[in-house]
Amino acid sequence: MKLTDLLKQHISIAGELVAAAKAGDNATVTNADLRWHQNAADIAAFLSGANPNWPRETLLTMLNRHLALTTQEATAQIQNRFGDSANLFDQIFNQALEMADALSSGIVKQFPTRA
């Protein structure tokens, strides 16, 4: 339940951030970005507590990379730089696959007899 709540917050904050960016509301963008990064830190802490094969700092690095790429992609989209947006989307996709690999490797290590 806690992870579900953290992920719902993640998506909600992202929506706030994009809406504020589109509206040119820099104060709200700054606030939402700070909360988004804190949410990523909370997700990393929760996951690292659930599996010792997921070091908190490793997860936080991956999540912060995800946030940086997503921010760049949203900015390119808002600014009608669609070629850049498509390139960044590909980077996000590849980075998501890397995160999935890291998470699944941690599960296999945690439960080696079930692999």
Residues in the chain: 115
Q: Residue 114: what pLDDT?
A: 86
For the chain, what are the domain ranges? 2-114
Q: What is the pLDDT of residues 20-78, one digit of tens each?
A: 999 999 999 999 999 999 999 999 999 999 999 999 999 999 999 999 999 999 999 99
In the block, residue with structure tokens 């599960």: 107
Higher pLDDT, 92 or 114: 92
Q: Say how far apart CA 107 and CA 76 lie, in whole Å.
A: 35
- DSSP E strand stretches across 1-115: none
Longest Cα–Cα distance of the chain, Å, equals: 53
Buried b (16+ CB within 10 A) or exposed e, 47-70: bbeeeeebeeeebbebbebbbebb
Q: Residue 33: what pLDDT?
A: 96
The arithmetic mean of pLDDT across residues 75-101, rounded, is: 97
The arithmetic mean of pLDDT across residues 108-113, rounded, is: 94
Q: Residue 35: what pLDDT?
A: 98
Residue 1 has pLDDT above 90, yes or no: no
Q: Residue 88: what pLDDT?
A: 97
User: What would the DSSP string read from start to end of 22-38?
Assistant: HHT-HHHHHHHHHHHHH
